[in-house]
Amino acid sequence: MSPTLDEIRRVPKVLLHDHLDGGLRAETIVELAREIGYERLPSTDPDNLRAWFEEASDSGSLVRYLETFDHTVAVMQTRESLIRVAAECARDLADDGVVYAEVRFAPEQHTTMGLSLDQVVEAVLEGFTQGSAGPDGRPRIRVGTLLTAMRHQARSMEIAELAVRYRDVGVVGFDIAGAEAGYPPTRHLDAFEYLQRENAHFTIHAGEAFGLPSIWQAIQWCGADRLGHGVRIIDDITVADDGTAKLGRLAAYVRDKRIPLEMCPTSNLQTGAADSIAEHPIGLLRRLYFRVTVNTDNRLMSSTSVSQEFHKLVEAFGYGWDDLQWFTVNAMKSAFIPFDERLALINGVIKPGFAQIKWQP
């Protein structure tokens, strides 16, 4: 029997690629907009607003897709709103069975109402702490924070320094995001070199909208620990009629070095990086044993969760519990926390959780 969605929700999961401003509850957006007097929402009815976000994200128009973030970011400009959004994010992920998550956001996008970068980070960290606690006060989920710099701006060094400054209190890494074409990661080389000198972790959005050169630069010039999306690595793999695959030098390097790929299947469909779940490169990459992980990207825009992403893969590729555990362990191995802490979650939480459901009568 294939894993059902309800069963998948019950196993421990790990999430490495999730944007805070892409996962708000529709009800929260409406309430926060009312509190600050933001009047540009397409609808003030939560159900209609949720439907608008989904439709705009599925429209095939990049302009409309990006417009959705204008509204979420607009209501995330006060300390109180950031705490609330972060707390709700942690609760929603924990309710979906996520035991470890790395959630990213760009501090520079949340200062229009006077908050400093430090105040933004501190508010989000406080929210994650509040939202991670269960009714008994014990944490239901561990949330690590990634600080993102926008690749079309010139504040990456400032954000990198911010990430290092807060790395002992919840920030686990750094990221750059935004349009790939015309904004190569090498524009931010000074920030990446600084992070390497500081022994800090970082991932880079690469190989989603742009191709192999973006991936090559992210790895070989900038030294990325992980690749955000990375779906275009498929362009360096040739599959013969008999199904055998030949890897180009870059693809072979990515696989041999076990560089994690933060793949987001539903989001990749919306942005045109894949035509369907069944045709998504994740199927071939899993078969070839790349370090593939499964992620949500933007839960509101994609109307998804980690459990739903897994279930779509089960339906498309016939995956079973061993496959889902493989993806989950991959993600935990690739997290930006110390090795002993990753190992404790793998052996103490993830494997026992999967064993319980795999061997239940």
User: What integer is the mean pLDDT of 270-276?
Assistant: 85
Provide the pLDDT for residue 361: 63
The pLDDT value recorded for residue 180 is 65
Query: What per-residue confidence (pLDDT) applies to 49?
Result: 97
Tens-place pLDDT, residues 44-74:
999 999 999 999 988 776 667 778 999 999 9
Tally of structural domains, the chain: 1
Provide mean pLDDT across the span 159-166: 98
Domain assignment present for 94: yes
Residue at 196 is within a domain: yes
Mean pLDDT of 87-94: 98
HSE (CB half, 13 Å, CA atoms) of 235? 15
- Catalytic hit among 122, 208, 262, 309: 208
Active site residue 39: no
Degrees, nearest 5: CA angle 53-324-350: 105
- At 319-355, the pLDDT tens digits run 999 999 999 999 999 999 999 999 999 999 999 999 9
Q: What is the structure's pLDDT at 211?
A: 84
- pLDDT value for 58: 87
Q: Looking at residue 242, what is its pLDDT?
A: 94
Handedness of CA 118, 121, 336, 263 (dihedral sign): negative
Averaged pLDDT, 180-208: 90
Confidence of residue 96 (pLDDT cuts 50, 70, 90): very high
- Under 8 Å between Cβ of 73 and 110: yes
Greater pLDDT, 278 or 179: 278
In a domain, 40, yes or no: no
92 neighbors 299 (Cβ within 8 angstroms): yes
From its phi and psi, is residue 287 left (phi > 0), alpha (psi between -120 and 50) or beta? alpha
Mean pLDDT to the nearest integer, 165-184: 88
pLDDT at 207 over 90: no
Distance CA 234, CA 173 (A): 26
pLDDT in tens, 108-140: 999 999 999 999 999 999 999 999 999 888 999
pLDDT (tens digit per residue) in 5-44: 999 999 999 999 999 999 999 999 999 999 999 999 999 9
- pLDDT surpassing 90 at residue 282: yes
325-335 pLDDT, tens digit each: 999 999 999 99
Q: Is the pTM of this model over 0.75?
A: yes
Residue 209 has pLDDT above 80, yes or no: no
Does the residue 141 lie in any domain? yes
Average pLDDT, the chain: 95
Mean pLDDT value of segment 247-262: 98
39: in domain: no
Pairing of strands 237-239, 245-247: antiparallel
- The arithmetic mean of pLDDT across residues 249-269, rounded, is 97
Residue 305: give its domain's CATH number. 3.20.20.140
Domain holding 286, by residue range, is 5-24+76-358
Q: Which of 48-62, 197-211, 215-229 has the highest mean pLDDT?
A: 215-229
Question: In this structure, is residue 46 part of a structural domain?
Answer: no
Q: Is there a domain that residue 265 lies in?
A: yes
